[in-house]
Amino acid sequence: MIILISICAAISTFFGGLLALKFKDRLHLILGFSAGAVIGVSFFDLMPEALQLTGSYFEASTALSIVALGFILYMMLDRSIALHSHTDEDDCNKHRGNVGAGSLSIHSFLDGVAIGLAFQVGTAVGTIVAVAVLVHDFSDGMNTVNMIVKNHGDRKRALKWLTIDAVAPILGVISTLFFTLSENVLGIILALFSGFFLYIGASDLLPESHHEHGTMWTTVSTIIGISVLYVAINLAGI
C-alpha cells in the first residue's frame, strides 16, 4: 500500500512540474504562487511537524532556533555559490538552480521517509501523513521546475530535476524498510528544512517573481499559493 501511495506522490509531483513548464510564459505568476507555496509548506507543514516531533525532547524555542539555523546555513550556501561564480553569471544561475531543486528533491525524499515511518506507527497515522504529502507534492513539482527555469535552465534540465523530485518519495518510502529514525532526529531535520524553504521562498522566489513584472497579480498569486497550502494541509489533517 505504501509503495502505491509513493507512486501517487510521484505522479502528483510530475504533473505539477509539467504544468509549470507548460505555462512558463507566465513565469512571474507561477513564481509568485511557488513562493507562497514554499513559504506555506514551511509555516503550515514542516514547522508544526518539527515542533510536534521534538516537543517531548526540548523547548519550542530550541526547535525554532534550528529553523533559524537552517535559514542561515542555506543563505551562506547561496551567497557562497554567488561569490565563487561571480565571473560567470550563467554558471552562478545554474548552480543556484541545482541547489534549490536539489533541496526540494531531498524534501520529497523526506516526504517518502515520513510516509514509511508513519505506517510503522500505524495505518491510521500513515494514511493521514500520506494525504498531507499528496496534497502539496503537486506544488513541489511546480517549485522544482521553477527553480531551474527562473535560473535560465532549459527544458531538458528542468525535466531531469523534475524526474529526480518525482522519484524521490518512492526512494524515501523504500528506505524506511531498512531503518527507523527517532522522533527528535526527524523533527530536527524538518526544522532545518523549514529554514531552507523560508529562505528559498522569501529571498529567492518572491523577489524574482516581482522583479520584471511587479504587478498586483504577482502578489495575489503569492497569497493564493500560501492559502492553497494552508487549506490543503489543514484538510489533510482532518
Of 1-5, 121-125, 187-191, the range with the lowest mean pLDDT is 121-125
What is the pLDDT, as a whole number, of residue 62?
95
- Kindly state the DSSP code that residue 232 receives in the 8-state scheme: H
**204-218 pLDDT, tens digit each:** 667 766 665 557 888
Q: To the nearest 10°, the Cα dihedral for 101, 104, 108, 110?
A: 130
Reported as half-sphere exposure (CB side, CA atoms, 13 A), residue 87 has a value of: 1
Q: Is the pLDDT at 140 greater than 70, yes or no? A: yes
Which three cell numbers, joined as nine digits, stand for 110? 523526506
Helices (H), the chain: 2-22, 27-41, 47-54, 60-84, 89-121, 123-149, 155-175, 183-199, 206-211, 216-236
Q: Is the pLDDT at 186 greater than 70, yes or no? A: yes
Return d(Cα 175, Cα 229) in angstroms, integer. 27
Q: What average pLDDT does this structure show over 73-86?
A: 69
For the chain, the maximum distance between any two Cα atoms, rounded to a whole number of angstroms, is: 53
Of 127-136, 146-155, 173-182, the range with the lowest mean pLDDT is 127-136
Using 50, 70 and 90 to split pLDDT, how confident is the model at 87? Answer: very low
Q: Is the pLDDT at 83 greater than 60, yes or no? A: no
Which sequence spans correspond to the domains of the chain? Answer: 2-236
Residues in Cβ contact with 3 at an 8 Å cutoff, skipping those fewer than 6 apart: 170, 173, 174
